[in-house]
Amino acid sequence: MRIINEKDIPNIPFEECPKGCLDPVWRYSGNPLIKRNPAGSLSRVFNSALVPYKGAFIGVFRAEDRTGVPHLYVGRSADGLSIEFEDRPIVFVDEEGNAAESHYQYDPRLVEIEGAYYVTWCDDFFGPALAIAKTTDFRKFVKYPHPFLPYNRNGVLFPRKIGGEYVMLSRPSDSGHTAFGDIFLSKSPDLIHWGENEHVMERGWEWWNLTKIGAGSNPIETDEGWLLLFHGVTNTCNGFVYSFSGALLDRERPGKVLFRCRDYLLTPEKDYETSGFVPNVCFPTSALVDARTGRMAIYYGSADTYTSLCFSYVDRLVGFIKERSR
């Protein structure tokens, strides 16, 4: 199996699989990576995204201060483990440099396409809706017009144009704690005009993703297809439970699902996943891959309180998804 278009990240955060463990992914021994009240006025940092940057790492982090309102902060890290956050949230601007403010921003994803970095997140646009911004230096973030009408969440861009167009996964929703949801795909020549919509994946018959699903981390290209992590939600008498799994999408027609794992890869089991502001949440938003070794570091929000980390190898994960495919 070949990994395509990813970089060598010799300093990727990584731990080998514990002896005897047969699981497709394994948790970082230092979890949760970002604990409560990690810096200044920030109380909870979770559902966030990192990329390799100038030999180190940089990311866009969902952080809440004591108002409880989420905003996006830039964070820097030499090792992908210990993160320094900026004091103030990102101020997004429009093409003319005017502040393009919204009341809240959450659940960022981050990809590099042709040398620029693109953040997608859930923005307040008369309710939750997707937003996109471009940066080249992580200082100036230029916001595009909202790609879709509200309500929508979980916008994940593919890290290259496919068939000459930008491609984004999304999850149309409602204005609250949506009790439904499938993954759709849209295309754009310029990140402004979106269309050619396709339905990609519906919520599952497997009980862990019976209620809704949403695209998770940046897709990883392999010669077997795009490796996509997605979260899946079940409803219980005590509320939603968020687990995650993986699928392989066709490389040139990413609306086509080649394999979809019927088992979850990770489900809330540890205290920092089962207990917190929102109990029982494992929510993947970012995956780093070292092209040379296939090592993977997956960042996931746990219990809407912490940022956690788990690991795998791309070929091990792809093998598991294929073996346990529906």
Site residues, ligand BMA (CB under 6 A): 47, 106-107, 242, 278, 281, 283, 301, 304
Least distance between ligand BMA and beta carbon 47 (Å): 5
Determine contact, residues 167/254, Cβ cutoff 8 Å: yes
Determine contact, residues 169/215, Cβ cutoff 8 Å: yes
Q: Which is nearer to ligand BMA, 186 or 305 (CB)?
A: 305
Least distance between ligand BMA and beta carbon 208 (Å): 15
Q: Which is nearer to ligand BMA, 143 or 153 (CB)?
A: 153
Q: Which is nearer to ligand BMA, 61 or 166 (CB)?
A: 61
Least distance between ligand BMA and beta carbon 278 (Å): 4
Q: Which is nearer to ligand BMA, 107 or 123 (CB)?
A: 107
Choose among 143, 290, 317: nearest CA to 216. 317
Q: In the block, which residue shows the tokens 């092209």?
A: 291
Least distance between ligand BMA and beta carbon 286 (Å): 14
Residues 6+ apart with CB under 8 A from 155: 109, 120, 121, 122, 130, 131, 132, 147, 168, 169, 170, 215
What the block records as the tokens of 86 is: 């900026």
Least distance between ligand BMA and beta carbon 152 (Å): 12
Q: Which is nearer to ligand BMA, 58 or 213 (CB)?
A: 213
Choose among 262, 266, 263: nearest CA to 312. 266
Determine contact, residues 271/308, Cβ cutoff 8 Å: no
What the block records as the tokens of 298 is: 């997956």
Least distance between ligand BMA and beta carbon 177 (Å): 6
- Position closest to ligand BMA via CB: 278
- DSSP letters, 105-151, are EEEEEEEEETTEEEEEEEEESSSEEEEEEEESSSS--EEPPPSS-SS
Q: Which is nearer to ligand BMA, 136 or 236 (CB)?
A: 236
156: left (phi over 0), alpha (psi -120 to 50) or beta: beta
